[in-house]
Amino acid sequence: MAGSEKKLERSKSGLRMIPVSDTDSSPFSLPEPPWVSDDECKQCQNCRAKFDFFKRRKHHCRRCGKCFCNDCCQEKVNLPRMLFLDPVRHCQVCTEISRKEEDFFEKHLKTLLNGGYFNVTESDMGPDEGSLFFLKLSANHRQLLFEGDNDKREPVQIEKIDTLQILPSGKDEEGNTLAGGIAIKYTDTTGGTNIIKMMVDSGGNKKPGQIWIAAMQKAFKMVYDARAK
Ligand SMILES: [Zn+2]
Ligand SMILES: [Zn+2]
């Protein structure tokens, strides 16, 4: 995709690979937090041990910016949401969060970029009136792209999705509800609100589509949680 050029930048926390243009920043990225100032930081914010320049140095968690002793902040973890190239120092709480997100970046994000076939219907259409599209996340993660043989659709901006709902389609042998599709409510480029349903194409194997839906749900949650802060 044009314009997703990146440049290397060194912040106080480490080397980052950032998009050259702001309009290319991923909706899954987070800004680096401000670090708790020296004045507010006389003791570890976890175990309360007092800092001492020689015996107990303070360290900042790269994810939350709070200050900790080495014991409470020694884990080095990947932090792709802040675009660090190498693992960076994390406190214990943030370690857990970032480890879970590693899963998203290693698996679910790839699923979204690879795409899948869905039958797309507008809210005012009957279930049989939709058209088949190949849906995938754009390379800069900002848009859902719809590729159709006959029909065209404008991309949906990930940051303009207001709600996302999983639509069930029956149960498997063990009684687990199967995801049949998703409905999203989003704001389009004209500022109008739209609701579309994207159902896994029932022509063939449903599994890839269901995995794509699960990944989309995780992606939406990440963007939504970051928005709520
Ligand atoms: Zn501590
Ligand atoms: Zn932290």
For the chain, give every domain's residue range: 6-111, 115-228
Using the mean position of ligand 1's atoms as its centre, give its distance from the Cα of residue 69 in Å: 4
What is the phi/psi pair of residue 154, to 5°? -65, 145
Predicted pLDDT at 175: 83
Give the separation between CA 143 and CA 133, rounded to whole angstroms: 15
Nearest bound ligand to CA 90?
Answer: 2
Of 26-40, 61-75, 167-181, give the range with the top mean pLDDT: 61-75
Using the mean position of ligand 2's atoms as its centre, give its distance from the Cα of residue 8 in Å: 24
Please list, residue by residue across 54-76, b when 16 or more beta carbons sit within 10 angstroms of its beta carbon and e when fewer do: eeeebbbbbbbebbbbeebbebe
pLDDT grade for 79, boundaries at 50, 70 and 90: very high
Residue 198, SS3 per DSSP: strand
What is the phi/psi pair of residue 176, to 5°? -80, 140
* Better-predicted residue by pLDDT, 170 or 81: 81
Using the mean position of ligand 2's atoms as its centre, give its distance from the Cα of residue 40 in Å: 16
pLDDT grade for 1, boundaries at 50, 70 and 90: very low
Residue 49, SS3 per DSSP: coil
Q: Which fold has domain 6-111?
A: Herpes Virus-1 (3.30.40)
Tell me: the pLDDT tens digits for 108-122?
999 999 999 999 998
Number of Cβ atoms within 10 Å of the Cβ of 106: 11
Give the separation between CA 101 and CA 80, rounded to whole angstroms: 8
Using the mean position of ligand 1's atoms as its centre, give its distance from the Cα of residue 47 in Å: 4
Predicted pLDDT at 4: 67
Is pLDDT above 70 for 171?
yes
* pTM, rounded to two decimals: 0.84
Give the separation between CA 169 and CA 46, rounded to whole angstroms: 46
Q: What is the mean pLDDT of the chain?
A: 90
Q: How would DSSP label each residue in 51-77?
A: PBTTTB--EE-TTT--EE-TTTS-EEE
Nearest bound ligand to CA 89?
Answer: 2
- Environment class of residue 89 by beta-carbon count within 10 Å: exposed (0-12), middle (13-18) or buried (19+)? buried
Nearest bound ligand to CA 48?
Answer: 1
Considering only 36-50, 66-80, 203-217, which range has the smallest mean pLDDT? 203-217
CA R_g for the chain? 21
Predicted pLDDT at 2: 45
The residue assigned the tokens 């360290």 is 59
User: Which of 176, 158, 168, 159 has the alpha carbon at shortest distance from 197?
Assistant: 168
Euclidean distance between the first and final Cα of the chain, in Å? 30
Tell me: the pLDDT tens digits for 9-31?
888 888 998 888 878 889 999 99
The C-alpha angle 2, 216, 103, rounded to 5 degrees, equals: 90
- Environment class of residue 34 by beta-carbon count within 10 Å: exposed (0-12), middle (13-18) or buried (19+)? exposed
Give the separation between CA 34 and CA 146, rounded to whole angstroms: 38
CATH of domain 115-228: 2.30.29.160
